Amino acid sequence: MYKTVKFGGSSLADATQFQKVKNIILADDSRRYVVVSAPGKRYKGDDKITDLLYECQQLAQGGAPFDQVFGRIRRRYLQIRDKLNLKVDLESELSDIYHIIENGASPDYAASRGEYLNALLMADYLGYRFVDASELICFHDDGTYDDETTQARTRMLKKLDRVVIPGFYGKRRDGSVRTFSRGGSDITGAIIARATESDLYENWTDVDGFLMADPRIVPDAKVIETVTYSELRELSYMGATVLHEDSIFPVRKARIPINVRNTNRPEVHGTMIVPDVMASPDRDCPLTGVAGSRGFTVITLQKDNMNSEPGFAYRVCSVFARYNVSVECMPCGIDTMSIVSSDAQLRGKMDAIYHDIMAECIPDTVEIASCIALIATVGIGMVRSRGTAAKIFSALADADVNVRIIDQGSSEMNVIIGVEQRDFERAIEAIYRKFA
Ligand code: ASP
């Protein structure tokens, strides 16, 4: 049994957090492949090292002095090293980084040093081997991730026992450093878990796991014990995030479960994210989670005999495609069709889309409703349990929420409901309380 374990920035923010991480790793012999983020915030209002590194690069690029900001970075690392009595020669590493930034380093290079230095410290602290991510993670020259070369490079990891790898970055073919988007150490962890054929990818962070609902709306929302990859995708898409969205794909393909855990409460089991086949078909509760976001517009077309007009849907969709606007969902009736898109995508394009639809689809009426929130009520258990829809809609009726749209995904594990934005919080809370 092998595990890849990834620790986020708050889990590695200072020497005390490093000690917790070491205890976690030593408590389980199978935790062999360790991926680390850069030190994050120690308290509210504190700096994240990654942000400070970007700031140094920006200042240097503008020809401004960055010694003061760099000094804050230096102190954070030296403090960790000295409190833990480590031997890493940080002074010369930091002085190299300082000079490279001074001489025009890219933002990606500057930011990557946060993970690089933290991995050097962690490798020394654990007595594990340090393997630089630039030897493993590859990017194409245009900056997109190169999975094929990465798979070839990371194969060697299986021969190594116990290693520490910095998250977040890799390199292009020309040798320049390239990072993933923010929070990208999660992706590195997933890639390493797949390369090492780990049985489990543990993602250690500062929350107990995924919650069944946004805690800003439902403060006592319970932790989801098990969620499938597909359910998670539906929930994350609607705004519930703990993991970087792209971190799911490498492990999902390899059918490696992810366990989200809390470094500050290792006794809590966290959330297990499993391939669909591993999920128990008869969970007690048909609802896995409820999530949503605001900022959608619904365009409803009505036309007599729409159902018998070949190509109607095609013509509507091609108008949206022409303006590069993606469609979130399309609930249809016999003579009506609603198209839901985000306000952000429609911005500045609505008049042109309206004009083209009128000209090409010739509907009898078009109604446009903005300020709509979409809510995803997700659970694989819904397929088998009778009365789920009745429960959802009675909860909404009891909470005096007017439902504007209903769309059941064809996977039958997600009922999407559109409500007025002002009813958004009330609707989420009502659905959660009905099931939880
Ligand atoms: N340190 C990077 C960030 O703050 C990457 C990560 O933590 O995953 O975004």
Looking at residue 278, what is its pLDDT? 61
Q: In whole angstroms, what is the distance from residue 334 CA to residue 107 CA?
A: 54
Residue 57 has pLDDT above 70, yes or no: yes
Give, for ligand 1, the residue of 48, 188, 205 to mutate: max count of ligand atoms closer than 8 Å to Cβ: 48
Pocket test for ligand 1, best of 7, 50, 109, 179 (most atoms within 8 A of CB): 50
Query: Of all atoms in ligand 1, which is nearest to the CA of residue 40?
Result: 4
Q: Tell me, in angstroms, the distance from the centre of ligand 1 to residue 403's CA.
A: 39
pLDDT at 384 over 80: no
The reported pLDDT for the residue numbered 286 is: 80
Atom number in ligand 1 closest to CA 181: 9
> Ligand 1 pocket, 189 CB below 6 A?
no
Over residues 146-187, the pLDDT tens digits come to: 999 999 999 999 999 899 999 999 999 999 999 999 999 999
Ligand 1 neighbourhood includes 185 CB (under 6 angstroms) = yes
pLDDT at 265: 97
Interval 63-81: pLDDT, tens: 999 999 999 999 999 999 9
**pLDDT for 244-299, tens place per residue?**
888 888 999 899 999 999 999 999 999 999 987 666 655 667 889 999 999 999 99
CA of 436 to the centre of ligand 1 (A): 33
pLDDT on residue 381: 77
Residue 237 is predicted with a pLDDT of 73
Question: What's the 109 CA to ligand 1 centre distance in angstroms?
Answer: 13
Residues 6+ away with beta carbon under 8 Å from 227: 210, 235, 271, 272, 273, 274, 279, 288, 289
**For range 106-124, the mean pLDDT:** 98
Q: What is the pLDDT of residue 249?
A: 85
User: Which one has a higher pLDDT value, 433 or 282?
Assistant: 433
Is 7's C-beta closer than 6 angstroms to any atom of ligand 1?
no
pLDDT at residue number 401: 96
Q: How far is the CA of 83 from the centre of ligand 1 (A)?
A: 24
Cα(52) to centroid of ligand 1, in Å?
A: 12
pLDDT reported for residue 238: 73
pLDDT tens readout for residues 386-401: 888 899 999 999 999 9
Token pair 């989420």 is found at 428
In the chain, what percentage of residues exceed pLDDT 90?
Answer: 82
Lowest mean pLDDT among 21-35, 100-114, 115-129, 248-262: 248-262
Task: Quote the pLDDT of residue 281.
Answer: 55
pTM score of the predicted model: 0.87
Distance separating alpha carbons of residues 108 and 100, to the nearest angstrom: 12
Span 26-49, average pLDDT: 97
Has residue 117 got a pLDDT over 60? yes
Tokens of 3: 């595990």
Q: What is the pLDDT of residue 389?
A: 87
Do 78 and 61 touch, CB atoms closer than 8 A? Answer: no
Q: Which of 92-101, 228-237, 273-282, 391-400 has the lowest mean pLDDT?
A: 273-282
Q: Decide if 201 contacts 253 (C-beta within 8 A).
A: no
Tell me the average pLDDT of the chain: 93
Alpha carbons 414 and 63: distance in angstroms, whole number: 52
Q: Is 119 helix (H, G, I), strand (E, B) or coil?
A: helix
What pLDDT is attached to residue 414?
86
Strands (DSSP E) along 333-413, which ranges? Answer: 336-342, 365-378, 403-408
Whether the pLDDT of residue 100 is over 90: the answer is yes
* 23 CB-near residues (< 8 Å, 6+ apart): 266
Q: Which of 185, 188, 203, 244 to mutate to test the pocket of ligand 1 (most atoms within 8 A of CB)?
A: 185
Q: Which two tokens stand for residue 30?
A: 């199978």
168 lines ligand 1 (CB under 6 A): yes
Distance, CA 51 to ligand 1 centroid (Å)? 9
Please give the pLDDT value at position 277.
Answer: 63
| Mean pLDDT, residues 371-388 | 86
